[in-house]
Amino acid sequence: MTPEVLSVDNHLLFVAKPAGLPTVPDESGDASLFEWAKDWVAREFQKPGAVFLGVVHRLDRPVSGVVLFARTSKAAARLSQQFRARAVRKLYLGIGAGEPASRSGLVEQWLVKDEVARRVRPAQRDSPGAREARTRWRVLAVRGNRTLLCFEPLTGRPHQLRAAAASLGTPLLGDVKYGAKVPLANRSIALHALSLAVEHPTRGAPVELRCAPSGEVWLPFARDIGEVDCSRSLPGD
């Protein structure tokens, strides 16, 4: 699939990232969303020289959804500060195998990186390298042995939502690193960044972009996804 520009102005560029495409160049040497976005800006605005594009957050390669780039250094600095201060609101959708024991809650974990396996593992709070990960979640729908979940990360740890889904006993479809039985096509997992809300770096007004997931795995939940209200955070517990 090809990325899609969701919104653009002088400071912001929101793009819908397909699953399987890295956000930024990596050791694979494959084309990245960052490179695609720079090429798009150069063509769209007829920029003859180098195009500035600031990376303020990322999605894992197998994850799809909304990605925000900064088009100016001022925007990049201010947006990065918002992400560090956890002043942005992000909602994700996931499809897990099975059904959790409750309908909503708050997952609080301490996670450590396993560099060899390229994943994170739950750990004790005082374990070397452990970092706190907090995720609000709720069940949106259950279809057969699959559950549509909504996640709101309150921290920004690597693989945080993937580990949270596994801890609920509902590993994300295709996520074999975290308990899925079989992989999905296109290196994807059933995790999608549905919406991202930030404060505009120069105007100060709230900006929110939403992007619905596509693909066969999401079709049974299409109506449920359309009813998700992205304007509100998930209720606390």
The structure tokens listed for 100 are 């959790």
Q: What gap in Å lies between CA 9 and CA 177, rounded to an integer?
A: 38
In the chain the beta strands, taken as DSSP E runs, fall at 4-8, 12-17, 54-55, 64-70, 89-97, 104-114, 119-122, 131-143, 146-153, 191-199, 206-210
**Phi and psi at residue 41, to the nearest 5°:** -60, -45
Q: What gap in Å lies between CA 21 and CA 61, rounded to an integer?
A: 5
Residue of 26, 30, 39, 60 with catalytic role:
60
The single-letter code of the amino acid at 235 is P
Q: For CA atoms 125, 130, 131, 133, give the dihedral sign.
A: negative
Contact 13, 69 (CB under 8 A): yes
**Phi and psi at residue 34, to the nearest 5°:** -60, -45
60 part of the active site: yes
Q: Could you tell me which residues come within 8 angstroms of residue 64 by beta carbon, excluding any fewer than 6 positions away?
A: 16, 17, 18, 19, 188, 191, 192, 193, 213, 214, 215
Any idea which residues carry the catalytic annotation?
Answer: 60
